[in-house]
Structure 1
Amino acid sequence: MGRDRLDTVSIANRGLNYGDGVFETMRVHRGALPLWPQHLARLREGAGRLGIAVPDVDFIEARIADMVSAVDAGVLKLLLTRGEGGRGYAPPADAVPTWMLSLQPLPEVLAGLRVHPCETRLSMQAALAGIKHCNRLEQVLGRAEAVRAGCDEGLMQDLAGNPVCATSANLLVLRDGRWRTPAVETCGVAGVLRAWLLAQDLVEVAAVPPEGLADADALALCNAVRGILPMRALGAREWSPHQATDELQARLAMAYPMFQHAGSKP
């Protein structure tokens, strides 16, 4: 398998066997990826932490353009694994990275999310925190809980019981007129849309204790595919639509018109 090829997955692929890889899930808008620079930066960060070489970026961008140039709206996933290796956890020194692209339609739109408080907790591992590595079993279990509860998403906590994020989105908490988001230094994913909100000083990083959600003025989720999604309910607690959420969505849509509509179902 060469670094400049689009490959299918071998049974010996370490991404399949051990989750040894990273991925990015990106919004396609009018034949382009508006947030590609941010996704590429996170891809490089994650691959660097795992010691996986990123294939030639010019080649990847050319293949992306081939795939999305005629697509008005969709979701593009880029998966990068360490490649093939023998049995055992030790990374082969000569492994050649494998990367793949897949294109899916956009999720359907929802006006507000019903979120299930998950029993499954996020393990705390600073070496993996923030990056989108391929071991997502905690999120798989959390989303399965949400589906069984008849909800749209699942809210996940760390081992100490502090709210961190949803299974596939970052958490935004409005209190006293200011949006806050939990830190992701020990667990959770550093979302590219979360990073944009922080850079624009629209959100700040702050600890959110377990009791800090029920009395919040509003809750929302955000990710780079669906934008900002107002949370209608968390368990039995419900919230009415809030003007601050509308304003935050409007600020995002001014910068990225692809998010001008209300949120989408996960």
Structure 2
Amino acid sequence: MLINGQPGDSIDASDRGLAYGDGLYRTLEAHYGQPLLWRWQWQRLAADCASLHLPCPDEALLLAEIAQVAGTLPRAVVKIVLTRGSGQRGYAMPATCTATRIVSATAWGGYPAERAEHGVAVRWCDTRLAIQPLLAGIKHLNRLENVFARSEWHDPAIAEGLMLDMDGTVVEGTMSNLFIVRGGELFTPLLDRCGVSGAMRACVLQLAANLGIPVREVRLQPEDVLAADEAFVCNSLAGIWPLRQLDGRQWLAWPLTRRLQQALLTICCASAIRR
């Protein structure tokens, strides 16, 4: 683990990330220190920094630190955490900010391959997402809603839970973004009021455009998901998981989802080779 570029495993107790969740993070996959899908990871990190008025680290510096912490691992999970750094008590942002930058890596634990191949069973979560447009889309450090939602079940047969906002609109999974297919078109929740705009979500949107698949960001209701021809969830570590079962509804084939999975595999392989 590197903290502001130096080996370490602790931060100042007055750090605003610890005190207020004042910061953001990204989680990604790396092979021997080379991050996959870095284009989308970097775009999202830079956008979130701008939204939170955090100084964005130099891209080359981050890549060098990822290579340092994960360079000996054939496959690793890399986490980048940025906070507003240490400050005096009180919520007000300090006039000057010396950000804290944490880059760490762990060996890949993996997910069962059958989740991508045969699809997953998911459930609805009771925990609702608060509507706060100011933080919509940002992968900030305040993730207690997701913690409570993911703690609602312990059945290993359930791979993910889908979350609604306070109005009952479908937003995302506890750790993933959601897409549905209807009439050959791709739909994904509009994230202008809450939720995380993930790097894999951005990648899928680009893949769909490349394949000529129409995409719309809309407000989805639970009945829209249950009536979909196909549905899938995605994140940067899991890739794309087709939905097999939800609330009594079953899906047995995912032709459009398979096209996106193949396109994702192609660019992941190209990314690993190129870097």
TM-based fold match above 0.5: yes
Aligned to 2:65: 63
Structure-1 separation of matches of 2:261 and 2:217: 19
Corresponding pairs, count: 258
Structure-1 separation of matches of 2:168 and 2:193: 13
TM superposition shift of 1:6 = 5.7
Question: Any stretches of 5+ residues in structure 2 without a counterpart?
Answer: none
1:35-80 CA distance string (max 9 Å, x none): 2232122112112221211233333222111122232212100000
Q: Tell me the SS of whatever aligns to 1:80.
A: strand
TM superposition shift of 1:149 = 8.7
> Could you say if the C-alpha distance between residues 225 and 149 of structure 1 is closer, same or farther in structure 2, counting changes exceeding 3 Å?
closer
Question: Any stretches of 5+ residues in structure 1 without a counterpart?
Answer: 260-266
Are 2:240 and 1:228 aligned? yes
- Residue correspondence of structure 1 range 86-97 to structure 2 within 5 A: 86-97=88-99
Aligned counterpart for 2:110 among listed residues 90, 107, 123:
107
Answer yes or no: is the 8 Å Cα contact 1:3–1:56 preserved in 2: no
The answer to which of 165-174 and 68-77 deviates more is: 68-77
> Could you say if the C-alpha distance between residues 53 and 29 of structure 1 is closer, same or farther in structure 2, counting changes exceeding 3 Å?
same
Aligned to 2:152: 145
Q: Tell me the SS of whatever aligns to 1:152.
A: strand
Cα RMSD of the aligned pairs, angstroms, is 2.2
- Residue correspondence of structure 1 range 159-198 to structure 2 within 5 A: 159-198=166-205
Q: Tell me the SS of whatever aligns to 2:264.
A: helix
Aligned to 2:16: 14
The AA in structure 2 aligned to 1:69 is: G
Q: Tell me the SS of whatever aligns to 2:151.
A: helix
The AA in structure 2 aligned to 1:120 is: T
Aligned counterpart for 2:44 among listed residues 42, 59, 62:
42
Q: Tell me the SS of whatever aligns to 1:61.
A: helix
Aligned to 1:264: none
- Residue correspondence of structure 1 range 66-85 to structure 2 within 5 A: 66-85=68-87
Structure-1 separation of matches of 2:105 and 2:32: 14
The AA in structure 1 aligned to 2:14 is: A
> Could you say if the C-alpha distance between residues 149 and 67 of structure 1 is closer, same or farther in structure 2, counting changes exceeding 3 Å?
closer
Answer yes or no: is the 8 Å Cα contact 1:116–1:145 preserved in 2: no
- In percent, how many aligned pairs have the same letter? 36
Aligned to 1:247: 259
Answer yes or no: is the 8 Å Cα contact 1:3–1:96 preserved in 2: no
> Could you say if the C-alpha distance between residues 70 and 258 of structure 1 is closer, same or farther in structure 2, counting changes exceeding 3 Å?
farther
More helix by share: 2
Aligned counterpart for 1:213 among listed residues 214, 225, 233:
225
Structure-2 separation of matches of 1:162 and 1:149: 26
Q: Once superposed, which parts of structure 1, at least 4 consecutive aligned residues long, lie more than 6 Å away?
A: none
TM superposition shift of 1:221 = 0.3
What TM-score, normalized by structure 2, do the two folds share? 0.86
Are 2:129 and 1:128 aligned? no
The AA in structure 2 aligned to 1:92 is: P
Q: Tell me the SS of whatever aligns to 1:25.
A: strand
Answer yes or no: is the 8 Å Cα contact 1:6–1:99 preserved in 2: no
Q: Tell me the SS of whatever aligns to 2:95.
A: coil
> Could you say if the C-alpha distance between residues 163 and 94 of structure 1 is closer, same or farther in structure 2, counting changes exceeding 3 Å?
same
Structure-1 separation of matches of 2:270 and 2:245: 25
1:114-142 CA distance string (max 9 Å, x none): 21201111111111111111000111111
Q: Tell me the SS of whatever aligns to 2:187.
A: strand
What TM-score, normalized by structure 1, do the two folds share? 0.88
Aligned to 1:29: 31
Structure-2 separation of matches of 1:133 and 1:217: 33
> Could you say if the C-alpha distance between residues 57 and 31 of structure 1 is closer, same or farther in structure 2, counting changes exceeding 3 Å?
closer
